[in-house]
Amino acid sequence: MTAFETAIKAAQLFSDKKGKDISVIKISDVSSLADYMVIATGNNSTHVKALADEVEFALKEQGRAVDHIEGHRTESWVLLDYSDVIINVFSDEAREYYGLERLWQSGEAVDLSEYIAD
């Protein structure tokens, strides 16, 4: 599974599980950190954790084991690091606070319209 396929699969899983404001940003041209950044918002702390757990489980079933997890014990943010794809799930407040879209604005936003329904 390529980095792009991983990022799109995560976005689709977030969409299926009612994640909000889903975005995928291609950052490979502006950073060596990863190829893609995936960002989604959950409705509350339970939803944030459930979204992260679902993505981790589904990607593992497709042969993509997470390299590192941060924030799993917090109530507002979880980061799943797959080396070439970094997946972030936030509460509304944490997403606004961290502003990853602003931080990665020099990256290329991926048009998700053909992959997920609004």
The per-residue DSSP string of 9-31 comes to: HHHHHHHHTT-EEEEEEE-TTT-
Instruction: Say how far apart CA 24 and CA 87 lie, in whole Å.
Output: 9
Domain assignments of the chain as residue spans, ordered by start: 3-109
Q: Tell me, what's the pLDDT at 73?
A: 74
Q: Does the domain spanning 3-109 belong to CATH 3.30.460.10?
A: yes
Instruction: Say how far apart CA 23 and CA 17 lie, in whole Å.
Output: 15
- Tens of pLDDT along 73-112? 777 999 999 999 999 999 999 999 989 988 898 999 999 9
pLDDT of 72 above 80:
no
Residues 54-83 have a mean pLDDT of 93
Q: Tell me, what's the pLDDT at 107?
A: 93
pLDDT of 20 above 70:
yes
pLDDT of 57 above 80:
yes
Left if phi > 0, otherwise alpha if psi is -120 to 50, otherwise beta: which for 83? Answer: left
Looking at every residue in the chain, the average pLDDT score rounds to: 94
